[in-house]
A and B are shown apart, each in its own frame.
Chain A
Amino acid sequence: MRRFLASLRDGVGFDILLVGAAMVFLIAMAGLPLIYNVLMSFQQVDMFTLGSLIRPWAGFQNYIDVVREPAFWLVTKNTFIFVFFSMGGQFIIGFALALFFAQNFPGASTIRGLFLVSWVMPGLVVGAIWSWILAGDFGVLNTILKGLGIIQSNVFWKSDPAFSIWAVVIANIWLGLAFNMLLLSVGLAAIPRDLYEAAELDGANAFQRFWTITLPMMRSTIGAVLSLGLIGTLQQFDLFPAITEGGPANTSTVAQYWSWQMSFQLYDFAKGATISVMMLVLVLIASIIYVRSTRHEVRG
């Protein structure tokens, strides 16, 4: 008994206690809801059974039904467009801005700080503002593009099936840009200056320095930014109800919005859960790739 108490105070017991507290929290706050959600996707759920755990078993019927929905492939395509181009845009522009502000010109850090304003704003507010900017007949963006002579007639960003998903992508790039820039700036600041000096002495030009020093040294940061970006885009929800509501004709519906629609507009909780489990599998695959890609990292 005494040894047990001693180990609690200073030893293995203490470690287990700390880990245990974290585990209890994780299981209660993330694990159980996750299991509940997966369970729900295999059951028949309606209003009366909403509060109970044991419900009629449905097997894979919910999954079959979701795949057979007329909108399924369209939503899948939209989700990939949304995730790929949002992440791509956020990362490339974010990296460019991070490099730009790393140049240490006067006011660089102040202006970089101001960029954070976009990140601090709630998604619904950002959505409402972009909704005005992208409006068809009296939108700001159309007025500017027309003034510059780029377009002749109005582009209906929110109502044209060819543009609707891009309207949300544009808003999401703007929203996630600052976060990407910030993380990448931190990574850039951690690269020792003397590496660049040595390379310069050896006659490496700016592009070579970027390619052989910056990128390799940033590898783990880039991995983290991309995987966080993936999670961030997959949970981006606020912009959809604020800008397009998934329309017209589902051309801007993505998986997370579809899942919400199923559960909270059509009251088909089982299908809503099914879609979210499908998304979970997608995220799992992405995180496995991320973990594997950073495992053999050689740190200098």
Chain B
Amino acid sequence: MKLHFAGLLAAVSLGAMSLATPAFAQVTLKIWSIDGVDRVGIADTFSKEFDEANEDIVVEYRAIPFDDLVNETLRAFATGNAPDIVSFDNPDFALFSSRGAMLDITDRVANSSVIKAENYFQGPLNSVSWDGKLFGIPKYTDTIGVFYNKDLFAKAGITEPPKTWAQLTEYAEKLTDPANNVYGATFSARAGEEGTFQFLPIIQMSGGGYDNVATDGAAEVLDLWKKMVDNGWASKDVLSLGQWDSTGTFNSGNAAMAISGPWEVDRMVEDAKFDWGVALLPTITEGGERSSALGGFDWGIMSTTKHPDEAFRALEYFASQDNRIFAEFGSIPARSDIELPVTGVEKKDAALKVFLEQLQYAQPRGPHPEWQKISKAIYDAMQQALTGQMSSKDALAQAQTTINGILGK
């Protein structure tokens, strides 16, 4: 009887201990990102690894579709249910950092042995900076260049990829072959962020920026784009196709050149039944100023977090795994200190080389807290000019007026 009682007591105390252990040490981190919605990505994989490697931390990971991420986070922040860590597309980051919704991690990064600000490329780093302070770290980066079909180029007697936009237009005319359903070029001039992504670099090449869009050079190139669309050297559907679908027509041999980025490479290696290469984005004049779009996501800790130390540990873990993201997910780390491995796929390695060079010229969109409105002014102008509703000059001038209003000039 006594023994029985002692056994019972032991069982109860054991049970109490196992109940108590997690309660006194565990911290829950909520991490949100778009990874894992349609395929496995960086955030979901690393969050799970971090969760398993740390006994004291439980990670609640949530995958949110791209279109809902900012809205969902805004709503959660407004109602006090914000995640601890979130990963935004780089132009969206300033919307949060500029209004104090992100945690200032300047000092933490300065004291960190894992995350070093000087290792990151300048463009991506700018997107997480606001007012001289650091509010996050870049997750990965990408940019755009020109894919070209070498077989079709040879057939048309063209030896080199285009160096200027005028050349690209001229080649597009030569390469167009309506009998075989081949357009000379394809790009994305869609009414959305992708449209701005592809057109803003041209404004930047002409000496402008998001705050100064009505440049002569930008109007000149916009006229060239319009010429391509009007003459059927590019499909009219460039106005509604996203980059992924637009480049799909290149892969199937229906366009001889395509403007897009490194995320296309894996699919192209699979789908394209011809020889292809990548060239830097053309310039306005030969040897003129270069620019390109800067894509990619950023990591940030939200200012409402109750566990900033643990959240920063998570960021450190993510940053320490940056050398894996190219091989495993095809994403380019936004860091100069990581040597990318050779994959052995000849075209892929060649393409990556060009994109790495292109990245040196990549410039961020913004950062500005009202980036989405600025972006809309830019893609609206681009579409108005391409559809002939306004001249390129007038459309860009109207966009400038709208942007001045947003910037409070």
Chain B residues contacting A246 (CB-CB under 8 Å) are 191
Q: How far is the CA of A159 from the CA of B372 in the complex (A)?
A: 22
Known A-B contacts A48-B99, A161-B389, A249-B387; the reply to A135 vs B237 at CB < 8 A is yes
CB distance from B101 to the nearest CB of A (A): 7
Chain A positions 115-137 with a Cβ under 8 Å from a chain B Cβ: 135-137
**Candidates A137, A158, A250; contact of B181 at CB < 8 Å:** A137
Contact status B372-A136, CB under 8 Å: no
Q: How far is the CA of A70 from the CA of B373 in the complex (A)?
A: 13
**Candidates B95, B101, B254, B384; contact of A137 at CB < 8 Å:** B254
Chain B residues contacting A161 (CB-CB under 8 Å) are 387-389
Chain B residues contacting A245 (CB-CB under 8 Å) are 190-192, 240
Chain B residues contacting A135 (CB-CB under 8 Å) are 237
Q: How far is the CA of A156 from the CA of B386 in the complex (A)?
A: 14
Nearest-CB residue, chain A, relative to B252: A138
Contact status B372-A249, CB under 8 Å: no
Contact status B238-A159, CB under 8 Å: yes
Q: For chain A, which range describes its interface: under 10, 10 to 19, 20 to 34, or 35 or more residues?
A: 20 to 34
Q: How far is the CA of A248 from the CA of B241 in the complex (A)?
A: 11
B317 on the interface (CB 8 Å rule)? no
A50 on the interface (CB 8 Å rule)? yes
Q: How far is the CA of A299 from the CA of B36 in the complex (A)?
A: 61
B324 on the interface (CB 8 Å rule)? no
A interface footprint on B156-192 (CB within 8 Å = 1, 0 otherwise): 0000000000000000000000000100000000111
Contact status B237-A47, CB under 8 Å: no
Chain B residues contacting A48 (CB-CB under 8 Å) are 78, 99
A238 on the interface (CB 8 Å rule)? no
Q: For chain B, which range describes its interface: under 10, 10 to 19, 20 to 34, or 35 or more residues?
A: 35 or more
Contact status B191-A159, CB under 8 Å: no
**Contact residues of A: prevailing secondary structure:** loop
Chain A residues contacting B96 (CB-CB under 8 Å) are 47
B239 on the interface (CB 8 Å rule)? yes
B236 on the interface (CB 8 Å rule)? yes
B117 on the interface (CB 8 Å rule)? no
Known A-B contacts A159-B240, A161-B387, A248-B191; the reply to A267 vs B235 at CB < 8 A is no
Chain A residues contacting B238 (CB-CB under 8 Å) are 159
Contact status B237-A247, CB under 8 Å: no
A interface footprint on B377-408 (CB within 8 Å = 1, 0 otherwise): 00010011011110000000010001000000
Nearest-CB residue, chain B, relative to A246: B191
Nearest-CB residue, chain B, relative to A245: B191
Chain B residues contacting A256 (CB-CB under 8 Å) are none
Contact status A158-B240, CB under 8 Å: yes
Chain A residues contacting B383 (CB-CB under 8 Å) are 247-250
Chain A positions 71-101 with a Cβ under 8 Å from a chain B Cβ: 71
Stretch at the interface among B19-27, B69-77, B207-215: B69-77
Chain A residues contacting B227 (CB-CB under 8 Å) are none
A259 on the interface (CB 8 Å rule)? no
Among A156, A160, A249, the one with the most B-chain Cβ atoms within 10 Å of its Cβ is: A249
Q: How far is the CA of A268 from the CA of B370 in the complex (A)?
A: 9
Chain A residues contacting B191 (CB-CB under 8 Å) are 245-250
Nearest-CB residue, chain B, relative to A136: B237
Q: How far is the CA of A103 from the CA of B237 in the complex (A)?
A: 44
Q: How far is the CA of A117 from the CA of B239 in the complex (A)?
A: 32
CB distance from B186 to the nearest CB of A (A): 10
Contact status B74-A267, CB under 8 Å: yes
Contact status B71-A264, CB under 8 Å: yes
CB distance from A151 to the nearest CB of B (A): 14
Chain B residues contacting A250 (CB-CB under 8 Å) are 191, 380, 383
Chain A residues contacting B386 (CB-CB under 8 Å) are 248-249
B79 on the interface (CB 8 Å rule)? yes
Known A-B contacts A249-B383, A250-B380; the reply to A137 vs B402 at CB < 8 A is no
**Candidates B181, B239, B389; contact of A159 at CB < 8 Å:** B239
Q: How far is the CA of A260 from the CA of B99 in the complex (A)?
A: 23
B62 on the interface (CB 8 Å rule)? no
Contact status A70-B181, CB under 8 Å: no
B376 on the interface (CB 8 Å rule)? yes
Q: Which 7 A-B residue pairs are closest in the complex by CB-CB distance?
A: A247-B191, A249-B383, A50-B78, A51-B78, A156-B236, A159-B239, A248-B239
30 contacts between A and B (CB under 8 A): A47-B77, A47-B95, A47-B96, A48-B99, A50-B74, A50-B78, A51-B78, A51-B79, A135-B237, A136-B237, A137-B181, A137-B235, A156-B239, A158-B237, A158-B239, A158-B240, A159-B235, A159-B238, A159-B240, A245-B240, A247-B191, A247-B239, A247-B383, A248-B240, A248-B383, A248-B387, A249-B384, A249-B387, A266-B372, A267-B74
Known: A51-B79, A161-B389, A247-B191. 19 other contacts (CB 8 A): A47-B77, A48-B78, A50-B75, A50-B78, A71-B380, A156-B237, A156-B239, A158-B240, A159-B236, A160-B387, A244-B240, A245-B191, A247-B190, A247-B240, A249-B386, A251-B387, A266-B372, A267-B74, A267-B95
